[in-house]
């Protein structure tokens, strides 16, 4: 089989990755994330109207007349389905939703409330906190696991690859103002698992090869290992992407954001296993002695 | 590694069949009890309402402090200790003692067997903490005392919430404690929670108090509004009767006025109290007060001794029914507010199921075709493992009666995509081994053994992510972590038992073939 010189592009691609990470961080810092009601609090209503009975502008108008503050109305999949979001939540007015429904029906005709989500400020703050803790916790757990299984140089490489994937995925969500909700947190955690999985497969091979070849430099060795595991990397990414693509295209609107985040994560996860994790090993001058020393201890 | 005992093959086969049978029970109706289980659908798939209620404990605490104050007064009076200047604010009781009693009071409050300030040995805490400064005592609830109080009010509230929800008669409601001041209510199949929200939003504190013109009433007076009107009336603070004394309430039609009213029956104590008060109060107006608003204030025409009565007040049949329900189920210890609500209509739920199944089928077919294209006969074997993996996954979810959510379905599809990874790792390794080893059986053997640690490492990392999601996530996300986690276990099983058996069987049969993989 032909050997692909992945290692020729370590430098260039690392620079690109670095730029992307910095750009993502800047976006996250200055533009921020578009939090959904889960994390920001407020009300989300998914409505379905009779076919052709109304335009998005008339829906927007009738909501604007209700004094709900900043209202956003977006088409959601079908022509007849819309997502309406606003910051006000019902607090203690138990007829809040019913009143909105009555007013809306009188102005644009028959509407069906398919989904209502109403999250108070206290709950949304807690959800955000537990989301951040969950991501932090999973990164820590991965770090610990890989630290136990491999030498510290490998752990560092794997963790940097993880940060790379998570930061860039979130950066893309920020860039396109895609909504961050609870399912995105689930997606990010799964990405963490997947990216780690991918890195571990290559690292296992690097370590095996380190034992086998004493005289090959790590720069060369990573390339051999990447090539040896390449077809597995491609096939697994392909099947996972096929499954995700199928969720994205056919799984309904609710899962769109989730599957998109996963697709991005799988792509970056695969890339980073090759181009972030491995160059770190080269940078840290990993050699046969690294693993032998560890084994002696 | 390619030779197995018959017993082992048999055991794996039986296990797979049993679990698959349980999976099939979701689609076919079986008669026996063990396998007539079904996967429970989450609220996002079957439709329904999820409400998170938070109890406002401030009134409970104030009430507790007030009753404690009375208790303290009585207790120290019995002990002949002189205290003065009692007062209660939001979080503490304050009183003053004279110089000679200070130390005795301190000892009493600090005593481990104190009656007035109980000590909880296992938590090393009194009910109240106190500080003394210049003979002025300040008592505040200790942390544990506060937890105890909150827990008991939450327990009461849950009981009342359960009664109210049960009275409405939704199917299989799920009512759970969350922390020490929250209640989670799940109502499957309910697409308009408006009525239940308005029922849960009411404290339903019912009292009967006389309306008075005389503001020098010994119990004090308060000004209250009439329900739905701006009119006000001055009522005596003396409570004749409260909702606690009610044994039954139901909506009825008053034959004379042709109005819908709520008629109630009192218990023995209530009957006595009510009889006494109405005997003395003939001619006065008796206000019927719910949650601080006067519903109506009829004049007492004659003593009511029979222990039953009516509440009138411009009711529709619906509102009378709701009021009767609230009165029957009792008052909440403190007001509840709805801090999170998620409602999914049944048709959206069905749409989600349809979309989920469609994407599962498409994803599955794509992966299966891809594997056959890549690995030919071994692709078929991997697919066989994949199919049994799906059956195992669904079967185990069914056996544990796990809740399937929309993200859970996504988890299953994702499992389909990632499950082949283990087989791919093995097959790729075997391909490498075959290059150096002409004996296929040895090559396959070492392919399996050399890829094992990698496969374990790779799967444990995903399992870690699933675990954390399970413990940190809520509702639908938890469903995702369950399918993802169980999916990894069934994947390893199907790869290491089912696929390996098939591979071994095939390789041993065809070991002399020219190009095997």
The verdict on a CB contact (< 8 Å) between A133 and B484 is no
Cβ-based neighbour number of residue A134 at 10 Å = 22
The pLDDT confidence band at residue B202, using thresholds 50, 70 and 90, is confident
Q: Which residue has the tokens 């994560």?
A: A265
User: What is the C-alpha to C-alpha distance for residues B298 and B456, in angstroms, rounded to an integer?
Assistant: 77
- Which residues, 6 or more positions from B93, have their beta carbon under 8 angstroms from its beta carbon? B65, B68, B69, B72, B86, B87, B128, B137, B138, B139, B140
The verdict on a CB contact (< 8 Å) between B359 and A141 is no
pLDDT attached to residue B381: 93
pLDDT attached to residue A1: 61
Query: Which DSSP category does A215 fall into?
Result: S
Interface residue of A94, A133, A139 to substitute, partner B, most B CBs within 10 Å: A94
pLDDT at B41 over 70: yes
The pLDDT confidence band at residue B158, using thresholds 50, 70 and 90, is very high
The verdict on a CB contact (< 8 Å) between A95 and B198 is yes
User: What is the C-alpha to C-alpha distance for residues A266 and A241, in angstroms, rounded to an integer?
Assistant: 7
pLDDT at B179 over 90: no
Interface residue A261 vs chain B (CB under 8 A): no
Q: Which of residues 68-97 of A touch B (CB under 8 A)?
A: 90-92, 94-95, 97
pLDDT attached to residue B319: 87
**pLDDT average, residue stretch B477-482:** 87
Report all structural domains of chain A as residue ranges with CATH numbers, in order of start. 6-36+123-296 (1.20.1640.10), 42-119 (3.30.70.3400)
Enumerate long-range contacts of B118-125, CB under 8 Å, 24 or more apart.
B120/B144, B120/B148
Interface residue B346 vs chain A (CB under 8 A): no
Interface residue of A246, A257, A258, A267 to substitute, partner B, most B CBs within 10 Å: A246
B28-37, B278-287, B507-516: which is most confident: B278-287
Strand ranges inside B392-500, DSSP E: 403-404
> How many residues are listed for chain B in this entry?
517
pLDDT at B223 over 60: yes
Interface residue B352 vs chain A (CB under 8 A): yes
pTM: 0.85
Give A114→chain B minimum CA distance, Å. Answer: 5
**Residue B131: C-alpha distances to residues B93, B110, B117, B138 (Å):** 11, 11, 14, 5
Neighboring chain A residues of B359 at a CB cutoff of 8 Å = 246-247, 249-252, 255
The pLDDT confidence band at residue B243, using thresholds 50, 70 and 90, is confident
Neighboring chain A residues of B201 at a CB cutoff of 8 Å = 92, 94
pLDDT tens by residue, A260-283 = 999 999 999 999 999 999 999 999
pLDDT at B32 over 70: no
The verdict on a CB contact (< 8 Å) between B356 and A251 is yes
The verdict on a CB contact (< 8 Å) between A247 and B192 is no
The verdict on a CB contact (< 8 Å) between A252 and B406 is yes
pLDDT tens by residue, B99-127 = 888 888 888 888 888 778 888 888 888 88
Interface residue A35 vs chain B (CB under 8 A): no
Neighboring chain B residues of A197 at a CB cutoff of 8 Å = 421, 458-459, 461-462
pLDDT attached to residue B22: 82
The verdict on a CB contact (< 8 Å) between B52 and A185 is no
**pLDDT average, residue stretch B360-373:** 95
Interface residue A258 vs chain B (CB under 8 A): yes
Task: Per residue of chain A (297 residues), give pLDDT as tens.
Answer: 678 899 899 999 999 999 999 999 999 999 999 999 999 999 999 999 886 666 788 888 888 888 888 888 988 888 888 999 988 766 667 778 888 888 888 888 888 899 999 999 999 999 999 989 988 898 889 888 888 888 889 999 999 999 999 999 999 999 999 999 988 988 988 888 889 889 999 999 999 999 988 888 999 999 999 999 999 999 999 999 999 999 999 999 989 999 999 999 999 999 999 999 999 999 998 888 887 766 655
User: What is the C-alpha to C-alpha distance for residues B87 and B76, in angstroms, rounded to an integer?
Assistant: 15
Q: Are the beta carbons of A82 and A47 closer than 8 angstroms?
A: yes
Please, is B255 exposed, middle or buried when counting C-beta atoms within 10 Å of its C-beta (0-12, 13-18, 19+)? Answer: exposed
pLDDT at B299 over 70: yes
Searching chain B, which residue's CA lies closest to the CA of residue A258?
B407
Of A66-70, B171-175, B291-295, least confident by mean pLDDT is A66-70
pLDDT attached to residue A163: 93
> Could you give the angle at the alpha carbon of B258 between the alpha carbons of B255 and B263, nearest 5°?
65
Give A163→chain B minimum CA distance, Å. Answer: 15
The verdict on a CB contact (< 8 Å) between B464 and A137 is no
Residue A252, sorted as left (phi over 0), alpha (psi -120 to 50) or beta, turns out to be: left
The verdict on a CB contact (< 8 Å) between A255 and B407 is yes
Cβ-based neighbour number of residue B117 at 10 Å = 21
The verdict on a CB contact (< 8 Å) between A254 and B406 is yes
Nearest one of B251, B269, B268 to B260, comparing CA atoms: B251
B338 phi, psi to nearest 5 deg = -90, 110
Cβ-based neighbour number of residue B370 at 10 Å = 18
Give B466→chain A minimum CA distance, Å. Answer: 7
B477 phi, psi to nearest 5 deg = -65, -35
Query: Which DSSP category does B211 fall into?
Result: B
pLDDT at B291 over 70: yes
pLDDT attached to residue B368: 95
Here the tokens at position B350 are 């069905």
């Amino acid at each position: 089989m032909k050997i692909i010189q992945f290692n020729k592009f370590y430098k260039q691609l690392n620079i690109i990755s670095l730029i992307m990470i910095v750009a993502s961080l800047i976006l996250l810092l200055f533009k921020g994330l578009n939090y959904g009601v889960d994390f920001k609090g407020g009300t989300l209503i998914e409505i379905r109207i009779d076919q052709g009975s109304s335009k998005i502008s008339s829906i927007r108008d009738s909501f604007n007349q209700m004094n709900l503050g900043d209202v956003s109305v977006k088409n959601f999949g079908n022509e007849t389905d819309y997502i309406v979001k606003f910051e006000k939540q019902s607090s203690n007015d138990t007829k809040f939703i019913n009143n909105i429904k009555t007013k809306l029906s009188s102005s644009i005709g028959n509407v069906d409330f398919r989904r209502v989500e109403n999250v108070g400020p206290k709950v949304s703050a807690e959800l955000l906190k537990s989301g951040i803790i969950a991501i932090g916790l999973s990164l820590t757990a991965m770090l610990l696991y890989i630290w136990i299984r491999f030498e510290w140089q490998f752990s560092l490489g794997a963790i940097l690859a993880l940060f790379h994937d998570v930061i860039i995925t979130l950066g893309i969500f920020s860039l396109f103002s895609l909504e961050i909700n609870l399912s995105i947190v689930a997606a990010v955690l799964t990405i963490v698992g997947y990216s780690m999985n991918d890195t571990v497969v290559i690292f296992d091979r690097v370590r095996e090869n380190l034992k086998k070849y004493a005289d090959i430099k790590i720069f060369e060795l990573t390339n051999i290992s990447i090539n040896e595991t390449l077809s597995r990397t491609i096939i697994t990414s392909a099947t996972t992407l096929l499954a995700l693509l199928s969720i994205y295209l056919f799984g309904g609107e609710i899962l769109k954001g989730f599957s998109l985040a996963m697709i991005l994560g799988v792509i970056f996860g695969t890339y980073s296993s090759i181009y972030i994790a491995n160059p770190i090993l080269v940078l840290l001058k990993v050699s046969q002695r690294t693993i032998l020393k560890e084994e002696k201890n | 590694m390619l030779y197995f005992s018959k017993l082992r093959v048999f055991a794996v086969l039986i296990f797979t069949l049993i679990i698959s049978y349980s999976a099939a029970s979701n689609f076919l109706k079986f008669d026996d009890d063990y396998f007539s289980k079904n996967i429970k659908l989450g609220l996002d798939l079957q439709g329904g309402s999820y409400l998170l209620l938070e109890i406002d404990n401030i009134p409970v605490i104030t009430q507790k402090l007030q009753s404690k104050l009375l208790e303290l007064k009585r207790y120290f009076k019995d002990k002949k200790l002189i205290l003065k200047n009692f007062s209660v604010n939001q979080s503490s009781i304050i009183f003053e003692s004279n110089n000679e009693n200070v130390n005795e009071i301190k000892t009493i409050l600090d005593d481990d067997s104190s009656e007035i300030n109980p000590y909880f040995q296992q938590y090393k805490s009194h009910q109240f903490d106190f500080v003394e400064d210049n003979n002025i005592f300040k008592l505040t609830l200790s942390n544990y005392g506060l937890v105890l109080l909150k827990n008991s009010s939450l327990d009461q509230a849950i009981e009342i919430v359960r009664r109210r929800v049960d009275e409405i008669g939704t199917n299989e409601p799920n009512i759970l404690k969350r922390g020490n001041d929250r209640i989670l209510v799940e109502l499957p199949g309910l697409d308009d929670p408006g009525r239940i929200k308005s029922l849960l939003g009411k404290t339903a504190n019912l009292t009967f108090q006389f309306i008075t013109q005389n503001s020098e009433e010994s119990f004090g007076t308060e000004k209250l509004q009439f329900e739905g009107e701006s009119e006000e009336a001055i009522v005596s603070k003396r409570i004749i009767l409260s909702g606690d004394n009610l044994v039954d309430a139901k909506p009825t039609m008053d034959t004379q006025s042709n109005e819908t009213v709520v008629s109630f029956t009192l218990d023995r104590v209530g009957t006595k109290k009510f009889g006494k008060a109405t005997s003395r109060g003939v001619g006065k107006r008796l206000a019927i007060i719910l949650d601080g608003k006067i519903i109506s204030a009829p004049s007492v025409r004659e003593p009511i001794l029979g222990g039953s009565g009516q509440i009138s007040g411009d009711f529709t049949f619906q509102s009378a029914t709701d009021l009767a329900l609230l009165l029957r189920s009792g008052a909440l210890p403190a007001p509840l507010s709805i801090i999170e609500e998620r409602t999914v209509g049944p048709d959206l739920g069905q749409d989600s199921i349809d979309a989920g199944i469609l994407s599962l089928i498409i994803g599955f077919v794509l992966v299966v075709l891809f594997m056959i294209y890549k690995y030919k006969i071994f692709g078929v074997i991997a697919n066989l493992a994949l199919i049994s993996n799906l059956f195992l996954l669904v079967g185990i979810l069914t056996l544990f009666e796990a809740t399937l959510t929309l993200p859970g379905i996504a988890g299953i599809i994702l499992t389909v995509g990632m499950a082949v990874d283990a087989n791919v790792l093995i097959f790729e390794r075997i391909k490498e081994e075959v290059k150096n080893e002409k004996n296929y059986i040895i090559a396959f053997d070492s392919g399996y053994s050399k890829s094992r640690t990698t496969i374990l490492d790779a799967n444990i990392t995903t399992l870690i992510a699933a675990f954390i999601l399970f413990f940190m996530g809520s509702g639908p996300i938890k469903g995702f972590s369950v399918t993802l986690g169980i999916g990894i276990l069934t994947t390893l099983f199907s790869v290491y038992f089912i696929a390996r058996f098939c591979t071994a069987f095939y390789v041993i049969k065809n070991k002399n073939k020219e190009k095997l993989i």
